[in-house]
A and B are shown apart, each in its own frame.
Chain A
Amino acid sequence: QQPVQSPQAVILREGEDAVINCSSSKALYSVHWYRQKHGEAPVFLMILLKGGEQKGHDKISASFNEKKQQSSLYLTASQLSYSGTYFCGGAGDSNYQLIWGAGTKLIIKP
């Protein structure tokens, strides 16, 4: 069963903040986050390997709540370059098989 991402889409003005959530009904052992721009391949953002872990670089960070089986991606002071579709992927029983969310489309307007 795939993780549920919310919201499905969000439109922001440049400089605003966004939070994208990824919830799973199955136990996850790690969570990946990727961004895909239109016509391009997904690009790896970060991986969270254990509950309670938080990571970030630049103004993009993420957290993983293992008890709630939920991960959140935080985009602070969004830039035009942040536009794209964000996917979370969760690793459950199989380390190699990520179960992917349907994606959250983020549009940043000037």
Chain B
Amino acid sequence: ETGVTQTPRHLVMGMTNKKSLKCEQHLGHNAMYWYKQSAKKPLELMFVYSLEERVENNSVPSRFSPECPNSSHLFLHLHTLQPEDSALYLCASSQDVWQGLHFGPGTRLTVT
């Protein structure tokens, strides 16, 4: 595997379910990000980890919980989501803040 991978690619979950999104980067980067992309809205940064420490948390509802066990893996734990949380969730990594982001293919999440 190369680049940034995400699983699953598609997820449908009910409002009472608990699920997790997984991201893995094979680039040796130091920073990892979770972004939310909704239709007709700009990309929204949710969380940033640098060297496994959370450095940004953009007032994201507590029903989203990130986890970064090491510099290559990033998880987003989901529970009791709302229909408005349906979106494309993108993981990204970068070597440092002065270099571009490498995005994974995303997880298309639908909350029913």
| CB pair A96 B99 closer than 8 Å | no
Q: Are B42 and A30 in contact (CB under 8 A)?
A: no
Q: Does A2 lie within 8 Å of B42, measured CB to CB?
A: yes
Instruction: Contact check, A100 vs B43: say whether CB atoms are below 8 A apart.
Output: yes
Known: A43-B103, A47-B98. A96 touches B55 (CB 8 A): yes
Interface residues of A in 32-87 (CB under 8 A from B): 32, 34, 40-47, 49, 87
Cα distance A103–B53 when bound, in Å?
30
Q: Which residue of B lies closest to A5 (CB)?
A: B42
A-B interface pairs (CB < 8 A), number: 56
B48:A41 contact, CB within 8 angstroms: no
A-side interface size class: 20 to 34
Instruction: Count B-side interface residues using an 8 Å CB cutoff.
Output: 22
Establish whether residues B104 and A41, one from each chain, have CB atoms under 8 Å apart when the complex forms: yes
CA distance A96 to B105 in the complex (A): 21
Q: Which of B50, B58, B101, B105 has the most CB of A within 10 A?
A: B101
- Residue contact A98 to B105, C-beta cutoff 8 Å: no
**Residues from chain B with Cβ under 8 Å of A34 in the complex:** 100-101
Instruction: Kindly supply a per-residue 1/0 record for chain B positions 38-78, scoring 1 wherever the CB is within 8 Å of any chain A CB and 0 otherwise.
Output: 00011101001010000110100000000000000000000
Check if A98 sits within 8 Å of B45, measured CB to CB: yes
Contacts known (A40-B105, A41-B106); A100 close to B100, Cβ less than 8 A: no
Asked if residues A42 and B103 are in contact (CB atoms below 8 Å), the reply is yes
Contact B55 A103, beta carbon cutoff 8 Å = no
> Which B residues are in CB contact (< 8 Å) with A32?
100-101
A99 to B102, CA, bound (A): 16
Residue pair A44, B100 in contact (C-beta under 8 Å): yes
In the bound complex, how far is the Cα of B90 from the Cα of A99, in angstroms?
A: 16
List the interface of chain A (C-beta within 8 A of B).
2, 30, 32, 34, 40-47, 49, 87, 89, 91, 94-103
Q: Which 7 pairs from chain A and chain B are nearest by CB? A: A44-B100, A95-B97, A41-B103, A100-B42, A100-B43, A96-B48, A96-B56
